[in-house]
Structure 1
């Protein structure tokens, strides 16, 4: 039998080309290929090639990047309760659903379109995320990454891919220098994939914030994230016709205590805006308590405080401007605020 002989008794016409070319040994058995024939075909110089344990490329020669990605998912995925990889069905024209597995790390970032991630052919190994309880071993071509809670995958080119914050954390775990880490973190934020706090939260959960080169990169990320948020705040005021506030000020009671810093303040209306840029590497409960205490203190003095997150500024700039405009308009209906000193921060 030549390698072009149809795999009977179950035809493969319902599969896409990529799913014809990369199959598991279990799938091939269902198509009538016995173990001995499979072994013979995968010998050096044979028409097929074993890419991973139990995963076969139905042609000779090196695999394409797409074939490597599908092989990785076939190796790691399974149908819940069966312990075997998912089988394509005639009702699924777009190929199988890869249960309990998704591409992560640098390969995922490349699929998400990161310019700072290497192209797929340059990656020696592809990272794949699976539940912690799965019994799988890493190979020379695949690194198994385990997690107690699987995130919801994003579909990229028809493949399940880890969300950017998780993919960044898994990539960083395998990098040893800040110069490799910093561009990935920066692009995640600058390209609008996610907020800095989402990345820092994943790094914190992965216990990577104890590594000095990661801490250095995170410091740069948070500074850059705040600068971007401040730029959007300036745009919000300028593009939506809000009156100019005083920017980046500290408030203090005359002869009394410091009341805290604010990103924008309208003294005549006693309205303040504060950017919520809490980072997950800090105690979020303690930070929120500090935010709440400051807000309550200022509002007892008659100052309205509007908290805005960087994400809201990025996703709904006009809506946040409307919130601030409402607060400014309502100032005439409130009792006069206490006199406070407004100092540059």
Structure 2
């Protein structure tokens, strides 16, 4: 029996044999394509100029023509850098996380440029990974232990403070630096000390515009922490203290400023808004000496951090209330002079 002319003239389909409708964001690796019955040669043929696919990165394919979306670029970057099985449904992308400006955009910082507008997408990987930057992906290696990734828009991202440090390591104007730092703290993504710690590790505190932005950030962070302290006292029914005062021995030396002081109970609250910078050891030594001096005088010092006030204000109120109630069981404290700060 002869072959019908129609069958002889039927062209080979330019599309893979297996359905690819389940491809996340239209992006798959060569391994994932092979698992769906698409060999490497066929993927390469479909990705030639003018073809229906594109090879975005080594071993990573975009399954449609035209420019990739921001999400497709992010997924392609993670597929290139992450250790991932051929199963597209496998959770996670291995030890790889979006960092830098793209991560800040995923966190929703208003001043961060959208991923589709970025020339490069930074991806954080362990320092032991043998990977090179390619195409629009820049490899950033964790100098120490790989940090626990967070999730934003369904993708793994570096912690905000690390993303900030990686973003500011690139050329960024002073106004954008200030805005990014302020937005990260105001919107509750991180606390100023954590940001400064990462900037210090990245050796960025020698840059004048970064230092200026950090100083403004710390001042704003202290104001936010003080507001939380006021709210804690008010909302949990604590007696009103003397706010922001200096303590001094009568005719003697200055003992230092404190954030709140209950003179009848001889209880002090100090907010730890120190920033871990190059002079941190000296600052900590001064703080320790002041606390020890106050306690030798019979004054109880309660140490609170901005993070504790933000995350567990009720628990911190219990700590302060307990110190106030214990005043009757302690010997009377030395008399001190209280001055406005």
TM-score (norm 1): 0.89
1:62 to 49, 59, 67: 67
Aligned residue number for residue 137 of structure 1: 132
- Alpha-carbon deviations, 1:88-145, whole Å to 9, x = none? 43xx74x443112111111111111222212222222211111223232223411211
Closer, same or farther: CA 268–96 of 1 in aligned 2, 3 Å: closer
Equivalent position to 2:178, from 175, 182, 185: 182
Aligned partners of 2:254, 2:16: CA distance in 1, in Å? Answer: 82
Does residue 1:5 correspond to 2:11, yes or no?
A: no
CA distance in 2, matches of 1:97, 1:239: 42
Equivalence for 1:338: 334
The alignment of Structure 1 onto Structure 2 pairs a total of residues equal to 329
Q: Could you tell me which residue of structure 2 aligns to residue 277 of structure 1? A: 273
Q: CA–CA distance in 1 between the matches of 2:169 and 2:244? A: 36
| 2:44 alignment partner, SS class | helix
Give how far 1:30 is off.
4.3
1:233 aligns with 2:222: no
Runs of at least 5 residues in structure 1 that lack an aligned partner in the other structure: 79-85
RMSD: 1.9
Secondary structure of 1:68 counterpart: helix
Is the CA contact (8 Å cut-off) linking 1:88 and 1:96 kept in structure 2? no
Q: Do the aligned partners of 2:262 and 2:268 also contact (CA within 8 Å) in 1?
A: yes
Aligned to 2:141: 146
Other structure's SS at 2:113 match: coil
Distance 2:24 2:257 in 1: 57
- Matching residue of 2:23: 17
Q: Say whether the 8 Å CA contact 1:51–1:71 is kept in structure 2.
A: yes
Summarize deviations over 1:296-325 as a string: whole Å, max 9, x none: 211111111101001111111122122111
| Structure 2: distance between partners of 1:17 and 1:70 | 11
More moved, 122-131 vs 201-210: 122-131
Partner of 1:242, secondary structure, is: coil
Match of 1:216 among 202, 212, 218: 212
2:41 aligned with 1:43: no
Task: Give the whole-Å Cα distance in 2 for the aligned partners of 1:331 and 1:35.
Answer: 76
| Secondary structure of the corresponding residue to residue 109 of structure 1 | helix
Q: Deviations over 1:151-180 (max 9, x none)?
A: 001122331111111111111111332201
1:69-108 aligned at under 5 Å gives the runs 69-78=74-83, 86-89=84-87, 93=89, 95-108=90-103
2:38, 2:141 → 1: CA distance? 33
* Counterpart-to-counterpart distance in 2, 1:193 and 1:311: 11
CA distance in 1, matches of 2:64, 2:108: 29
Residue 268 of structure 1: CA displacement?
1.5
CA distance in 1 between partners of 2:91 and 2:306 (Å)? 38
Distance, in Å, in 1 between the alignment partners of 2:184 and 2:296 is 39
**Counterpart Cα distance in 1 of 2:294 and 2:14:** 77
Do 2:74 and 2:115's aligned partners in 1 also have CA atoms closer than 8 Å? Answer: no
Q: Distance in 2 between matches of 1:279 and 1:156?
A: 27
Aligned structure 1 segments of 4 or more residues deviating by more than 6 angstroms: none
Deviations for 1:183-241, whole angstroms, at most 9, x for unmatched residues?
11111111111110011111111111111111111011101000100111111122222
Question: Within 1, Cα distance between the matches of 2:94 and 2:123?
Answer: 12
Question: Which of 1 and 2 has greater Rg?
Answer: 2
Q: Give 5+ residue unaligned stretches, structure 2.
A: 1-11
Q: Take 1:340 and 1:107, find their aligned partners in 2: how far apart are those partners?
A: 53
The corresponding residue for 2:9 is: none
Taking the TM superposition and a 5 Å limit, the aligned residue runs for 1:255-270 are: 255-270=251-266
Q: What's the TM-score once normalised by structure 2's chain length?
A: 0.90
SS in structure 1 at match of 2:177 = helix
Is 2:55–2:62's contact at 8 Å kept on the other side of the alignment? Answer: yes
